[in-house]
Amino acid sequence: MSLFLIAALPFLGAVFPALLIRAGRNASASAAGLTTFLALTGLLLHAPAVFRGEVITATFDWLPGLGLSANFFLDGLGFLFATLILGIGMLIILYARFYLSREDPMGQFYTYLLLFQGAMVGIVLSDNILLLLVFWELTSLSSFLLIGYWKHLPEGRQGARMALTVTGSGGLAMIGGMLILGNIVGSYDLSVILENKDLIQASPLYMPALILILLGCFTKSAQFPFHFWLPHAMAAPTPVSAYLHSATMVKAGLFLMARMWPVLAGTPEWFYIVATTGLVTMLIGAVIALFKDDLKGLLAFSTVSHLGLITMLLGFGTKIAAVAAVFHIINHATFKAALFMSAGIVDHEAHTRDIKRLGGLRHLMPVTFTIAFVAALSMAGIPPFNGFLSKEMMLEETVHTVWAGSHYLVPGLALIAALFSAAYSFRFIVHVFFGPKRDDYPAHPHDPGAGMWLAPAFLITLVVLIGLFSAKIAGPLVAVAAGAVIGGEELPYYSLKLWHGLTPALYMSLVAVGGGGLLLALHKPLMRAWNAAPRPEAKDIFDALMAVLARLAKAITDGLHNGSITRYGAVMISFTVAISWYAYSTGTTGPATRSLQEIGAIPALGWLSLVLATLLIVARHRNRLLALVLIGVVGLVVSMSFNYLSAPDLALTQLSVEVVTIVLMLLALNFMPKETPVETPALIRLRDGAIAVVAGLGAGGLIYALMTRDFAAPSISEFHLANSYKGGGGTNVVNVILVDFRGFDTFGEIIVLGIAALVIYALTEAVLGTRVRAYLLNRKPDLPQAGDAHPMMMVVATRVMMPLALMVAAYIFFRGHNLPGGGFIAGLIAAIAVIMQYMASGFAWTSERQRFYYHGIIGSGVLIAAATGIGAWFNDMPFLTSAFGYIHWPPLKEFEWATAALFDLGVFLAVVGAVLLALESLSRFAWQPGISSEYAMDINPARDDEPKNENEV
């Protein structure tokens, strides 16, 4: 099975549980389980190749122009984590089916779970750091949904927000670090980065990249001082907690540290940052766990401690420590998932997780007791269970580790952490399951059905088997995964067996177990001392920090965003001018290589007209009608300039656009006051004028510099000129660019144009039912009006011109591929022809003769354009690649035809539909079928709650 399909299956399958929940809870759970099973099966098909040391790859060119590819690869490390994610995921799906109540939306739960599962699989299989970053952030978002699944619980919502804030912030830091690595190596492919250890560690950017990447890892894997979010995530349902703590989420940071181990490890910086952080986290998590009365809280802090243990091993930077880290990842996943499920069973049956209200459950819940007993002993490091083996390897490595010249600091602190680890593991067993039965349980505890205990029972079976036969069961997986961690180098000698003789690690284990039993015996007085001792609460610190940041953000936002558009424009343009000036003053500008052309009298007169009209707009812009007329003058002069500079396509387009926009803006002015009120002080206007002058002179100077200099690189226009006919089958380069070379841009533009017209329609539709329309119909003109609203001469002229205009539009359309024209210009001409009918004969007369809805015309245009582009796929060509050839239809002469004409037809229809829909939307304020003007005149607009003047409207 392709790696792409393995990574995509959870995302594809996430749709089905939510849909199938109507068929029952079993159908929803089966859909989720089948999806995970298929992905796991596809993964296991690659197991023989992985165990042979092969690396399976899958490549898809994402942005080949930038050298970016969406690559996946599967080696031993990825196989280990993907197996844990999908294998434990199946067990969690089974467990959740019987754990969740009927009131819980199970379909939603499985959808969130599969999204989270897919993000995790994507992380461990990605061979491109940009793709990995996408999946990394998806884990934060999907875990937010899972942790906050019980939305009715305030602690659930807060835990979800806390997890998203901490892990999301770390993810942002990691993005920076990964981009630095890619910049150092010159590639964003992990397989390339992992081969450049010397280059990375010799770079001056190694330290910034290391810190940023570790911030992402530490926040995700709950390392000190970011450990506090993980216990608050316990507000999630127990299946979520079991999945997060055993195989996903918190293991993502460990995975990335292991993945980057070949290029980042082995330096003093790595050792002191990673090993120290892991050691401190292991110790703090173990101490806090002992004094937690909540079952899931105890297990959460135990997870923090064990994550610190693995981080410490990776931080040592030795090969054997990397092997121990990989082995403990496997062991921790098995016993921790079983422990969380056991805690969930106790909570589900006894209706409490408070250890003080439990005890004596071994008599009432023998199956659950057996599962929890074995898993907890493994967590404590008691033989013959798997936790003992990896704990021994960890202790042995600490004995050989020197920290700042001390041979005793690391093993001493690790021994204390192991001692507390044994203590909280013993407490989980003794205080919950031993002791006499009680008569004050919130509910009568009993073992659940097999559906809830089968999954943890399977896991503790692995706990026992790996402990007894580790070399055969876990040995090959440990070897291939550890080999990937150390970069494919030869593994050092190690032995996965229970007895290694009388070693320092064994003596330390005995002390840890004995000390753990002693701490358990002294738990009550120690608990009183713990509660009485002053200590900082991470949650309070986090809440206070968030409050300070929120106040700071509000102050900055209120200071910058005061609602003044002129202020925003001034800041943006001033910043642009400043940056441009800096670039100009620090750069080099060569001498001019082109001489200026002579300017004739007529072009000079046109330029002066343009400048004069522009200055008049600025001076008289408060008179909106006059400003609109002057804008039309500017557009006309620009059209003439295009034509003078041998750009007839642009001239035709500009002229057509001017006519359409002027008409639409005239309609829009009908709803606005005639004069723009003076709202800005003179000083502010002076400031804005100065900024505008400087920015305008700067833009003009830049254009002048560009036009008077040649460039070493060839212009893109040369490519278009050379390939217009050969590649697109047309001699009109502009049209070929629009419908072929840059056809995708044009396709997006017609979609945006259609959306704009629909928005105008929606806005006017909403206003039609308000008092504004009645006010407009009752408004008294302040100047005398013509007696005939529809002069006969204009009516006759427009009706005669209509077929002629449409014929011109057709002519412009068909010639567009080789001569100035095309679908956009033809669409504007056809729209203008219809607009003339509205102007001459009125809205009512024209609407009654409308045969097609403008919404449908827009949709038809977009669909035709899309269908034309998709047609290229059937010839194994990129989207919107056009084909062309010569056709002979008797009695016509042979002529050229290109599929781009169909795309242009889509453009034509979209333009016509958008323009006319906007026109109709603005015009129907004055007339609407079924509502006469007489009815509107009966509405009194002069009531107290009605607008009194134009400015109020």
Closest CA to 915 of 764, 807, 756: 756
Q: 246: how many CB neighbours lie within 10 A of its CB? A: 27
Q: How many residues would you count in the chain?
A: 953
DSSP symbols for 529-564: HHHHS----HHHHHHHHHHHHHHHHHHHHHHH-SS-
Torsions phi, psi for 591 (to 5 deg)? -70, 155
Q: 12: how many CB neighbours lie within 10 A of its CB? A: 14
Q: What pLDDT was estimated at residue 938?
A: 39
Question: Any idea what DSSP says for residue 63?
Answer: E
Query: At which residue do the structure tokens 């602190």 appear?
Result: 413
State how far the Cα of 143 lies from the Cα of 21, in Å rounded to an integer.
21
Confidence band of 946 (pLDDT split at 50, 70, 90): very low
The C-alpha angle with vertex 217 and arms to 214 and 220, in degrees rounded to 5, equals 145
User: pLDDT of 57-74, one tens digit each?
Assistant: 998 877 766 667 788 999
Closest CA to 924 of 690, 665, 667: 667
Report the DSSP pairing between strands 895-898 and 884-887. Answer: antiparallel
808: pLDDT strictly greater than 50: yes
Confidence band of 892 (pLDDT split at 50, 70, 90): low
The C-alpha angle with vertex 303 and arms to 299 and 306, in degrees rounded to 5, equals 135
Provide the b/e sequence for 66-91 (b: ≥16 CB within 10 Å): eebbbbbbbbbbbbbbbbbbbbbbbb
Q: What pLDDT was estimated at residue 933?
A: 40
> Of 20-24, 78-82, 99-103, which one has max mean pLDDT?
78-82
519 neighbors 380 (Cβ within 8 angstroms):
no
- Mean pLDDT for 516-541 is 87
Q: What pLDDT was estimated at residue 428?
A: 94
Extract the tokens encoding 703. Answer: 């254009």
Q: What pLDDT was estimated at residue 66?
A: 65
Q: What pLDDT was estimated at residue 516?
A: 93
Q: 504: how many CB neighbours lie within 10 A of its CB? A: 13
Confidence band of 776 (pLDDT split at 50, 70, 90): low
Which residue type, as a one-letter code, is found at position 164?
L
Extract the tokens encoding 347. Answer: 């909570």
Indicate the helix (H) or strand (E) that contains 38: helix 25-44
Q: How far is CA 449 from the centre of its chain?
A: 41
Average pLDDT for the chain: 87
Q: What pLDDT was estimated at residue 338?
A: 94
Confidence band of 925 (pLDDT split at 50, 70, 90): low
Residue 778: burial class (beta carbons within 10 Å; 0-12, 13-18, 19+): middle
- Mean pLDDT for 6-28 is 90
Q: What is residue 945's three-state secondary structure?
A: coil
Comparison of pLDDT for 689 and 937, the residue scoring more: 689
CA distances from 921 to 517, 565, 758, 779, 910 (A): 81, 27, 9, 19, 16
747: pLDDT strictly greater than 50: yes
Extract the tokens encoding 378. Answer: 């493994």
State how far the Cα of 773 lies from the Cα of 764, in Å rounded to an integer.
10
Q: What pLDDT was estimated at residue 893?
A: 67
- Mean pLDDT for 330-345 is 94
Query: At which residue do the structure tokens 């290391």 appear?
Result: 210
Confidence band of 926 (pLDDT split at 50, 70, 90): low
Provide the b/e sequence for 324-339 (b: ≥16 CB within 10 Å): bbbbbbbbbbbbbbbb
Confidence band of 894 (pLDDT split at 50, 70, 90): low
State how far the Cα of 789 lies from the Cα of 772, in Å rounded to an integer.
23
Q: Residue 488: left if φ>0, alpha if ψ -120 to 50, beta else—which one? A: left
User: pLDDT of 414-442, one tens digit each?
Assistant: 999 999 999 999 999 999 999 888 888 88
149 neighbors 243 (Cβ within 8 angstroms):
no
- Mean pLDDT for 546-557 is 89
What percentage of the chain carries pLDDT values higher than 70? Answer: 94
Comparison of pLDDT for 199 and 488, the residue scoring more: 199
Which residue type, as a one-letter code, is found at position 910?
A
State how far the Cα of 527 lies from the Cα of 69, in Å rounded to an integer.
56
Q: pTM score > 0.85 for this model?
A: no
Q: What pLDDT was estimated at residue 908?
A: 94
Q: What pLDDT was estimated at residue 819?
A: 86
Torsions phi, psi for 711 (to 5 deg)? -120, 145
Extract the tokens encoding 344. Answer: 């969930």
Long-range contacts of 784-788 (CB under 8 A, 24+ apart): none
Query: At which residue do the structure tokens 């809280």 appear?
Result: 297
Q: How far is CA 793 from the centre of its chain?
A: 60
535: pLDDT strictly greater than 80: no
DSSP symbols for 731-766: S-HHHHIIIIITHHHHHHHHHHHHHHHHHHHHHHHH
Q: What pLDDT was estimated at residue 951?
A: 39
State how far the Cα of 457 lies from the Cα of 513, in Å rounded to an integer.
25
State how far the Cα of 500 lies from the Cα of 502, in Å rounded to an integer.
7
